[in-house]
Structure 1
Amino acid sequence: MKRDELEHVIRAAADVASSDEIVVIGSQAILGAIPDAPATLLWSQEADVYPLRAPERATAIDGALGDGSQFHATFGYYAHGVGPETAIAPAGWQARLVPVRVRRGPRDEREVVGWCMEPHDVVLAKCAAGRERDWEFAREALRHEVVAIGELCRRATELPLPAAGRDEVIRQLRALAAAT
């Protein structure tokens, strides 16, 4: 996914959910802070989103813009309607969201704001999920200096995981950083 495609998803999700503010979590949220992020971080064609003030409308987004929808078939990327509970992220992640402001349309001056998870929080949420592809994402983010190991380790202590889980995330992140 590219930044303009993320903006399209934000705009479309806002229309479907009748909302002016959409939260973007998951890997493609990286495009909020880093519009020209390295290609190795942009392989996903899915943006995980929900309306900020009405998360329950995420199901409508999933139906209209989700995997296998006409939107997906037309554009080659899609929105996955999720909820705020989907993100296993460090405490305070909502306060660090990065705004992406987009116009509703070519003749419509009104703005929609996509609130994208900050890169360190994205990486830590991926690490908390713990899939092989998530660790690969973390490795690439470190390799391209999109995130700093010190900040990752600091925030990892705030993950909503048992202490052993937080320690394991920190251990694996340090190993990735040492190998890059």
Structure 2
Amino acid sequence: MTRKQLEHILRASGDIADDLEIVVIGSQAILGSHPGAPAELLVSVEADVYPKNFPERWALIDGSIGEGSPFHDTFGYYAQGVEEGTAILPDGWKERLVAICNANTRGITGWCLEPHDLVISKYVANREKDRRFGTDALRFGLTRLEELERRLERLPLDSERVNEILARIRADHRR
């Protein structure tokens, strides 16, 4: 997905949900901080989003421009409407959101996860594609190991789970 495609999704999602603010929590949130992110981080054709002010309207987005919709068929990418609590994130993540608001979004603000918060959520999910994303973000210098370690301490998880995630991050960083 490209930044322009994400901006299109933000515009459409805002119109559908009647909300001027859309939160992006999936991998394509990287486009908020890094519009020209490496191709390895942009392989997904979906953007995981929910309306900031009306989070209960996530299903409207999913049903209108989600996977298999005419929008998806027409453009080759889509919005995955998700619930607000879908991603497990470090405390303070909302204060670190990165805004996208320009002529292409037509007044809709996309609030994208900051890269370290994004990568932490990927490691919590612990799917192979998420670990690959986290490893690539580190390799390309979009995140720093020290900051990931600090953010881990702010996760709403027990210490055993946090230590497991930390071990995975460190192992992937050594690759």
Same fold (TM over 0.5): yes
SS at match of 2:90: coil
Distance in 2 of aligned mates of 1:5 and 1:42: 11
Task: Give the match for residue 126 of structure 1.
Answer: 122
Q: In terms of mean alpha carbon deviation, does 170-179 or 129-138 score higher? A: 170-179
The equivalent of 1:149 in structure 2 is 145
* Aligned-pair CA distance for 1:123: 0.4
* Alignment gaps of 5+ in structure 1: none
- For 1:162, the equivalent position in structure 2 comes to 158
CA contact (8 A) 2:8 2:104 kept: no
Aligned-pair RMSD on alpha carbons? Answer: 1.1
1:18 to 1:103, Cα distance in 2 relative to 1, 3 A: farther
Report the counterpart of residue 140 of structure 1 in structure 2: 136
TM-score, normalised to structure 2, is: 0.97
Q: TM-score, normalised by structure 1?
A: 0.94
The answer as to whether partners of 1:11 and 1:102 remain within 8 angstroms in 2 is no
Identity among equivalent positions (%) equals 51
Aligned pairs, number: 175
Which 10-residue stretch deviates more, 81-90 or 120-129?
81-90
Which amino acid letter does the alignment assign opposite residue 51 of structure 2? Answer: P
Equivalent residues in 2 for 1:8-47, closer than 5 Å:
8-47=8-47
Deviation of 1:131 (Å): 0.7
The 5-angstrom pairing of residues 43-58 of structure 1 reads: 43-58=43-58
The answer to whether residue 101 in structure 2 is matched with residue 112 in structure 1 is no
Q: Aligned AA for 1:174?
A: R
Which residue does the alignment assign to 2:71? 71
Q: If each structure's strand is expressed as a fraction of its own residues, which one has the higher value?
A: 1
Partners in 1 of 2:83 and 2:33 — Cα distance? 21
Per-residue deviation, 1:104: 6.6
* In 1, Cα distance between equivalents of 2:56 and 2:157: 25
Stretches of structure 2 lacking an aligned partner (at least 5 in a row): none
Instruction: Please give the secondary structure, in 2, of the residue aligned with 1:85.
Output: coil
The amino acid across from 2:151 in the alignment is R
